[in-house]
C-alpha cells in the first residue's frame, strides 16, 4: 500500500500523543493518558471518517460532493428532531427514540443526496454549484425550523425545548447491561477498555464501515463498477453498465453515510442542536478523503490525525497548570483548527506521495 | 466453396445527428466466419453504423437480425448478450485497472456455472485471470492479466480489448480501425489473430482506411460514402485505385508526387539529446541531427524506440536530461511549449485526443489553440469572434473537415475529422518547422493525399519538416532523408533515393550499417 502516507500519518499521531504524555506524564500514568487520547481521537474522528467515506462513494463514482457539510447538518437536526418527537410526543422509550433518531438522520442524508444526484446526474448542473445549494439549503432549513419549532411564540413546543431522550450509550455501558452486572470488562487492560469499549455506536459503526467500504470498493462487483464509472464512464457504458444508475445509488449511499455522521452530533455527542453546529467538519472530511487518496483506510488514517490534533487540545485542558509557557500556543483553538488544512496542503504539494482523483470526477456523462 | 450462412443482417438503418444524416438507409450483412471490411471516407458513418449494432446508439429506422431473430438493441448489454463484441476506434479501457479487472468489468461472474446477480458478490480475480490466460494462449493474444492497462503500449491494449470481447463469447467481432495505432509488425500479428478467430466461426467486421490491408485480408468489402452504402465487392474483383475512387467519389492519386528538395539553412539543430520516459528510463540516448529549411527528414523506427519522447522533447512537452535543441539559432532547451510555438514550430502530436485537442471545445476554438491571444484572434485580451469564425470556415473548407458547423464540440466529430482539425490548425500557421508524428493516422485516402500535398507544398515554400511515422510507405514517399531510430539512438541517416524498404527494415530491427567512408 501507500507506505509513505501511512508512516507519515503514524509519525504525526505519535508526535501529538507524545506532547500530551510529556506534559501530563508526571501527574498521571502515561498509559491512562494514551488511552484517554485514543478515546477522544476515535470519537472526534467519527464525523470526519464518515464524511470522508461519504465523499469516497460519491467521487469514486464520478460525482463531486461538497454538500457533505450540509447533509450532516440537516441530518443532525432532523435526527434530533425525530428522537425528541418520538420521546416527548409519542412517549416511546429513550432507546427506541434514539434509534429512530439515527434512522431519521440517515434518511435525511439520503434525501439531500438524492437532490444532489438529481441536480448533477439528471440535470448535469455543475456539481460544485449543486453541493453549494445543498449547503445553503441545509443551513436555511435547519435554522428556520429550529426557530419556528422551538423558540417562536405559538410554536409546537411552545418556546421551551423539551428534553432529548439522552444520548446513545457507550459500548461498555451496553455490555454491562447485557452481561447484567458481571465483571465482564474488568479484566481487560485499561488501554483497550478505555478506548474501544468507551466508544458509542456511531463511532464504532464508523470503524466497521471503513472496513466494509474498503471491501465493497475493491472486492465486489459493485465496487468495480463504481470505480469504472468514476474513471471512464463511456468505457463502463460499453460493457453494459448503467452509468446513471450506478452514480445515483452511490451518491445516495454517500448521503446516508453523511447522515449517520450527522447523528453523531446530536444523538451521540451532545443532546441538543445548535445552528451551524457541524462547523466545517464536512469540508475537513473532504480533506481527509483527498489526504487518503480516495481510499477508505487512507481517509480513516487522515481523519485520525485530524482527530488526534483536536484530542491534544481537549486533553491538555486537564494539565493546564503544568504546560510550559513555550507550549501554551497549543491550547489556542485556531492552532488545532488549522492542522487539517496545513496537513492537506502538505499532501497536495506531493511531499508525501501523489494523490490522484478518479479520472472522471465531477464530469457529467453524456453519450 | 459453398456460400457461408448469413449470420447478421442490418436493413435500412437510418441515424440522424443534429445537422448530419450519419446513416441513410444502410444495408449491411455478415456471414459466418467471414471477414467483412467496411471502408469509407472520414465521417462516412462507419463508426455510427457499428455503434448502432453495438447498442450504443439507437437507429431511427431499420432492423437488425441475427439468423431469423430480430434484435432490439437498447444498450451494449443487449448486444453483448447476442454475442456482439466491439473494439472501439478510441479504446474503451480503464487505465488504472488491471487487465483482469478490465476484462471482467460488466461480466464479473461470467466464469461461474450459475450466474450471480448480487451486487456484493466477491470478485474472483484469480479465476478470471486464469481464464484470460487460457483464452490468450488459445488465440495467441499475449497479455499479462496482472498488468495495469495504462502502462501497456497501444498494441497490447488492443489485444486486451479483443480478449475482452472473446471473454464475453463474442461471435461477431467489430474492429473499428484496429490497425491505425499499430506498427506494421503488430498489424501482421493482428491479422494472424483475426484469421484464427474466423477459423473458429467468429465473424469479423473490419474497419480500416488502408487499402492494402483490405485487399489482403477481407472476404468481402463494403464501401460507404456520405452515410450511404456505395457498393459491396470482393478483393478478387477490385484493386486499390478502384476502392479509393469508390470511397472518395473521384480518382485519387495514391502515389505522392514531388520534386527534389532544395534545402537551405539549418532550422532545427539537435545536439546530444538525452531524454527520460515516464518511468524514468532513458528513452532518447544521445541523439544529434539537424533539419534544414526546404527538406523533409523522416524518422523511421519501430514504435517504442524513443520517438515519442524525442518528439515531446523537441516540442517542449518533456524535460531534457542533457543536450541542446536549437530552433532558428535560438537555444530552446528547457523552454516552454509556447516558446517553441512562438519561435515557429508546428506540432501534430501522436495522440490526437490527449495532446492535440480539447474535445469539449468547439472546432472554431480548437483551430486557434496556438494563437488565440494574438491578433487577429485576440485584441487587448478579448477574443474576436468574427475572425475566429471566418478562420474556422476557411480551414473547414480547405481541409475538408466534415461537420455541420464550426460550433460543435470537436469530440463529436468522426475520428478522422478530429485529426483533420489538428492538421489544419498546425499547417495553416506561418511556421519554419513542422514536427509531425503520425500525421495521417486514421485519415482516409483522399485526406491523406491532400495532407501529403500540403506538407510537400510547405517544404517547397522553405519550411523544415520532421516526419515521424510507423508507416514505412509514408516515410519513403514523403521524406527526402531518413534517419533510423533504434533503442533511443540514430542508427544512420540516408538519402531516401539511396535506400530500399528492406534495408530500412533491417536497420529498424537493430542491424548496424556497414561503415562506408
Ligand atoms: N455523438 C455524435 N454527435 C453528433 N454528431 C456525430 C456524433 N457521432 C458522429 N457524428 C457525426 O456523424 C458523422 C459520421 O461519423 P462516424 O464517426 O460514423 O464516421 P466514420 O465513418 O467512423 O469516420 P472516421 O473514418 O473518421 O472514423 C460525422 O459527420 C460525425 O460528425
Ligand atoms: Mg470512425
Q: What is the mean pLDDT of each run of 10 residues along chain A (367 residues)?
A: 79 88 84 86 95 98 97 97 87 88 97 97 94 96 89 67 76 61 48 66 94 97 97 95 97 98 93 90 92 93 90 82 79 74 72 81 87
Which residues have a Cβ under 8 Å from the Cβ of B44 and sit 6 or more positions away?
A: B224, B225, B226, B227, B247, B414, B444
Q: Which residue of B has its CA nearest to A212?
A: B120
Spatial separation of the C-alpha atoms in residues B326 and A264, rounded to whole Å: 64
Provide the b/e sequence for A141-177 (b: ≥16 CB within 10 Å): bbeebbeebbeeeeeebeeeeeebbebbbbbbeeebe
- Exposure on the CB side of residue A351, measured as CA atoms within 13 A: 10
Nearest CA to ligand 1 atom 12: B22
Dump pLDDT digits (tens) for B208-218.
999 989 999 99
Interface with chain A: mutation pick from B53, B79, B94, highest number of A CBs within 10 Å: B94
CATH numbers and ranges of domains, chain B:
1-83+171-249 (3.40.50.300), 92-169 (no CATH), 266-508 (3.40.50.300)
What are phi and psi for residue B133, nearest 5 degrees?
-60, -45
The finding on whether B51 has its CB within 6 A of some atom of ligand 1 is no
- Contact (CB, 8 A) for B301 and B508: yes
Dump pLDDT digits (tens) for B181-219.
787 778 888 999 999 999 999 999 999 999 989 999 999
Distance of CA A178 to the CA centre of its chain: 28
- Closest-CA distance, A354 to chain B, in angstroms, reads 14
Angstrom CA distances, A315 to A19, A259, A319, stand at: 11, 28, 8
| Closest to A58 (Cα-Cα) out of A2, A103, A108, A116 | A116
What are phi and psi for residue A265, nearest 5 degrees?
-70, -45
Q: Is the pLDDT at B456 greater than 80, yes or no?
A: yes
Interface with chain A: mutation pick from B15, B102, B106, B112, highest number of A CBs within 10 Å: B106
The alpha carbon of A181 and the centre of ligand 1 are apart by a number of angstroms equal to 75
Q: Is the pLDDT at B344 greater than 50, yes or no?
A: yes
Which residues have a Cβ under 8 Å from the Cβ of A279 and sit 6 or more positions away?
A: none
- The reported pLDDT for the residue numbered A325 is 81
* A contacts of B56 (beta carbons < 8 Å): 237-238, 367
- The reported pLDDT for the residue numbered A179 is 52
Spatial separation of the C-alpha atoms in residues A263 and A253, rounded to whole Å: 15
CATH numbers and ranges of domains, chain A:
3-180+196-348 (1.10.3470)
Q: For residue B28, with 0-12 CB atoms within 10 Å meaning exposed, 13-18 middle and 19 or more buried, which class applies?
A: buried
Q: For residue B6, with 0-12 CB atoms within 10 Å meaning exposed, 13-18 middle and 19 or more buried, which class applies?
A: middle
Interchain proximity B105–A228, CB inside 8 Å: yes
* Least distant ligand from the CA of B412: 1
Spatial separation of the C-alpha atoms in residues B413 and B506, rounded to whole Å: 39
The alpha carbon of B208 and the centre of ligand 2 are apart by a number of angstroms equal to 9
Interchain proximity A232–B88, CB inside 8 Å: no
**β strands within chain A, DSSP E:** none
Spatial separation of the C-alpha atoms in residues B508 and B502, rounded to whole Å: 10
Nearest CA to ligand 1 atom 16: B45
No. of helices (H) and no. of strands (E), chain A: 14, 0
Interface with chain B: mutation pick from A213, A238, A356, highest number of B CBs within 10 Å: A238
The finding on whether B414 has its CB within 6 A of some atom of ligand 1 is yes
Q: Does ipTM top 0.85?
A: yes
- The reported pLDDT for the residue numbered B304 is 81
Which letter does DSSP use for residue A10 in this model? H
- Closest-CA distance, B477 to chain A, in angstroms, reads 38
The alpha carbon of B37 and the centre of ligand 2 are apart by a number of angstroms equal to 13
The alpha carbon of B231 and the centre of ligand 2 are apart by a number of angstroms equal to 19
Spatial separation of the C-alpha atoms in residues B88 and B178, rounded to whole Å: 8
Interchain proximity B104–A224, CB inside 8 Å: yes
| Closest to B124 (Cα-Cα) out of B7, A267, B116, B19 | B116
Residue in the block written with cell 532545427? B268
Angstrom CA distances, A307 to A34, A314, A315, B205, stand at: 14, 10, 12, 59
* A contacts of B76 (beta carbons < 8 Å): 237-240
Query: What number is the average pLDDT over the span B28-47?
Result: 94
* B contacts of A217 (beta carbons < 8 Å): none
Q: Give the one of A222, A227, A239 whose C-beta lies nearest to B106's C-beta.
A: A239
- pTM of the predicted model, to two decimals? 0.86
Interface of A with B (CB under 8 A): 216, 219-225, 227-228, 231-232, 234-242, 356, 359, 367
Which atom of ligand 1 is the closest one to the Cα of B414?
17
- Contact (CB, 8 A) for A258 and A113: yes
Angstrom CA distances, A74 to A80, A139, A322, B130, stand at: 10, 8, 41, 49
- The reported pLDDT for the residue numbered B73 is 93
Please give the helix or strand (H or E) that residue B230 lies within, else none: strand B228-233
Q: Is the pLDDT at B154 greater than 50, yes or no?
A: yes
Dump pLDDT digits (tens) for B258-279.
889 899 999 999 999 999 987 7
CB neighbourhood size of B133 (10 A): 16
* A contacts of B95 (beta carbons < 8 Å): 231-232, 359
- The reported pLDDT for the residue numbered A88 is 81
The finding on whether B238 has its CB within 6 A of some atom of ligand 1 is no
- The reported pLDDT for the residue numbered B517 is 37
Mutate to test the pocket of ligand 1, among B23, B26, B37, B43 (most ligand atoms within 8 A of CB): B43
For residue B362, the cross-strand partners are B409
Please give the helix or strand (H or E) that residue A194 lies within, else none: helix A190-195
- Closest-CA distance, B34 to chain A, in angstroms, reads 24
Q: Give the one of B57, B93, B119 whose C-beta lies nearest to A235's C-beta.
A: B93
* B contacts of A222 (beta carbons < 8 Å): 119-120
Dump pLDDT digits (tens) for B278-318.
778 899 999 999 999 999 999 998 878 899 899 999 999 99
The finding on whether B412 has its CB within 6 A of some atom of ligand 1 is yes
Amino acid at each position: 500500500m501507500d507506505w509513505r502516507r501511512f508512516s507519515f500519518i503514524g509519525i504525526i499521531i505519535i508526535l501529538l500523543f507524545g506532547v500530551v504524555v510529556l506534559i501530563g506524564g508526571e501527574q498521571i500514568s502515561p498509559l491512562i493518558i494514551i488511552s484517554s487520547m485514543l478515546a477522544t481521537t476515535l470519537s472526534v474522528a467519527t464525523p470526519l471518517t464518515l464524511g470522508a467515506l461519504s465523499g469516497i462513494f460519491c467521487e469514486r463514482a464520478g460525482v463531486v460532493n461538497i454538500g457533505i457539510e450540509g447533509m450532516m447538518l440537516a441530518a443532525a437536526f432532523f435526527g434530533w428532531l425525530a428522537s425528541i418527537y418520538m420521546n416527548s410526543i409519542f412517549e416511546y422509550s429513550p432507546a427506541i427514540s434514539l434509534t429512530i433518531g439515527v434512522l431519521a438522520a440517515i434518511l435525511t442524508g439520503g434525501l439531500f443526496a438524492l437532490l444532489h444526484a438529481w441536480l448533477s446526474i439528471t440535470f448535469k448542473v455543475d456539481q460544485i454549484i449543486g453541493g453549494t445549494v445543498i449547503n445553503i439549503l441545509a443551513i436555511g432549513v435547519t435554522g428556520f425550523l429550529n426557530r419556528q419549532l422551538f423558540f417562536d411564540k405559538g410554536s409546537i413546543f411552545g418556546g421551551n425545548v423539551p428534553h432529548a431522550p439522552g444520548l446513545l450509550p457507550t459500548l461498555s455501558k451496553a455490555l454491562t447491561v447485557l452481561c447484567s452486572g458481571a465483571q465482564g470488562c474488568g479484566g481487560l487492560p485499561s488501554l483497550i477498555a478505555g478506548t474501544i469499549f468507551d466508544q458509542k455506536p456511531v463511532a464504532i459503526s464508523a470503524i466497521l464501515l471503513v472496513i466494509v467500504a474498503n471491501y465493497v470498493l475493491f472486492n465486489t462487483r459493485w465496487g468495480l463498477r463504481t470505480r469504472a464509472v468514476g474513471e471512464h464512464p463511456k468505457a463502463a457504458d460499453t460493457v453494459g453498465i448503467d452509468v446513471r444508475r450506478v452514480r445515483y445509488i452511490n451518491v445516495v449511499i454517500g448521503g446516508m453515510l453523511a447522515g449517520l455522521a450527522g447523528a453523531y452530533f446530536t444523538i451521540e455527542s451532545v443532546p441538543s442542536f445548535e445552528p451551524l453546529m457541524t462547523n466545517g467538519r464536512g469540508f475537513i472530511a473532504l480533506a481527509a478523503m483527498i489526504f487518503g487518496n480516495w481510499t477508505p483506510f487512507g481517509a480513516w488514517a487522515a481523519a485520525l490525525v485530524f482527530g488526534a490534533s483536536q484530542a491534544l487540545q481537549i486533553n491538555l485542558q486537564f494539565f493546564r497548570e503544568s504546560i510550559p509557557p513555550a507550549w501554551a500556543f497549543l491550547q489556542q483553538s485556531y492552532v488545532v483548527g488549522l492542522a487539517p488544512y496545513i496537513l492537506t496542503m502538505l499532501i497536495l504539494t506531493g511531499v508525501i506521495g501523489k494523490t490522484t482523483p478518479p479520472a472522471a470526477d465531477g464530469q457529467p456523462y453524456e453519450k | 466453396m459453398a456460400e457461408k450462412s448469413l449470420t447478421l443482417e442490418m436493413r435500412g438503418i437510418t441515424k440522424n445527428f443534429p445537422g448530419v444524416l450519419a446513416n441513410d438507409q444502410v444495408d449491411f450483412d455478415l456471414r459466418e466466419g467471414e471477414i467483412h471490411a467496411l471502408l469509407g471516407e472520414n465521417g462516412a458513418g462507419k463508426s455510427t453504423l457499428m455503434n448502432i449494432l453495438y447498442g450504443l446508439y439507437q437507429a431511427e429506422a431499420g432492423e437488425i437480425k441475427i439468423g431469423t431473430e430480430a434484435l432490439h438493441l437498447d444498450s451494449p448489454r443487449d448486444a453483448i448478450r447476442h454475442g456482439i463484441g466491439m473494439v472501439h476506434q478510441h479504446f474503451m479501457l480503464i487505465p488504472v485497472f488491471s487487465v483482469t479487472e478490465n476484462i471482467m468489468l460488466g461480466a464479473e461472474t461470467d466464469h461461474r456455472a450459475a450466474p450471480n446477480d448480487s451486487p456484493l458478490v466477491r470478485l474472483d480475480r484469480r479465476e478470471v485471470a486464469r481464464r484470460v490466460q487460457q483464452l490468450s494462449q488459445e488465440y495467441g493474444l499475449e497479455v499479462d492479466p496482472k498488468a495495469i492497462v495504462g502502462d501497456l503500449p497501444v498494441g497490447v491494449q488492443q489485444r486486451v480489448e479483443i480478449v475482452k470481447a472473446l471473454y464475453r463469447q463474442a461471435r461477431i467481432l467489430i474492429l473499428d480501425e484496429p490497425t491505425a495505432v499499430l506498427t506494421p509488425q503488430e498489424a501482421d500479428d493482428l491479422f494472424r489473430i483475426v484469421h484464427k478467430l474466423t477459423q473458429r466461426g467468429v465473424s469479423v467486421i473490419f474497419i480500416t482506411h488502408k487499402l492494402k490491408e483490405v485487399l489482403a485480408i477481407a472476404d468481402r468489402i463494403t464501401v460507404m460514402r456520405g452515410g450511404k452504402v456505395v457498393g459491396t465487392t470482393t478483393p478478387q474483383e477490385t484493386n486499390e485505385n478502384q476502392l479509393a475512387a469508390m470511397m472518395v467519389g473521384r480518382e485519387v492519386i495514391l502515389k505522392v508526387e514531388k520534386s527534389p528538395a532544395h534545402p537551405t539553412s539549418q532550422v532545427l539543430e539537435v545536439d546530444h539529446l538525452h531524454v527520460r520516459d515516464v518511468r524514468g528510463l532513458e528513452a532518447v540516448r544521445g541523439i544529434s541531427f539537424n533539419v534544414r529549411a526546404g527538406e523533409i527528414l523522416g524518422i523511421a523506427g519501430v514504435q517504442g524506440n524513443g520517438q515519442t519522447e524525442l518528439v515531446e522533447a523537441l516540442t517542449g512537452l518533456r524535460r531534457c536530461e542533457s543536450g541542446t535543441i536549437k530552433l532558428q539559432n535560438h537555444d530552446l532547451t528547457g523552454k516552454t511549449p509556447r516558446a517553441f510555438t512562438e519561435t515557429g514550430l508546428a506540432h501534430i502530436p501522436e495522440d490526437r485526443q490527449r495532446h492535440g485537442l480539447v474535445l469539449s471545445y468547439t472546432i472554431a476554438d480548437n483551430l486557434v489553440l496556438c494563437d488565440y491571444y494574438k491578433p487577429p484572434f485576440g485584441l487587448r485580451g478579448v477574443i474576436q469572434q468574427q475572425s475566429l469564425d471566418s478562420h474556422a470556415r476557411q480551414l473547414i473548407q480547405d481541409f475538408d473537415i466534415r461537420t455541420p458547423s464550426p460550433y460543435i464540440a470537436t469530440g463529436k466529430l468522426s475520428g478522422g475529422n478530429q485529426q483533420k482539425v489538428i492538421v489544419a490548425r498546425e499547417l495553416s500557421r506561418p511556421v519554419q518547422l513542422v514536427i509531425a508524428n503520425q500525421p495521417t493516422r486514421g485519415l482516409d485516402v483522399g485526406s491523406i493525399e491532400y495532407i501529403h500535398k500540403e506538407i510537400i507544398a510547405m517544404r517547397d515554400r522553405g519550411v523544415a519538416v520532421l516526419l515521424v511515422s510507423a508507416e514505412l510507405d509514408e516515410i519513403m514517399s514523403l521524406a527526402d532523408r531518413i534517419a533510423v531510430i533504434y533503442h533511443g539512438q540514430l542508427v544512420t541517416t540516408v538519402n531516401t533515393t539511396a535506400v530500399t524498404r528492406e534495408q530500412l527494415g533491417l536497420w529498424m530491427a537493430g542491424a548496424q550499417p556497414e561503415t562506408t567512408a
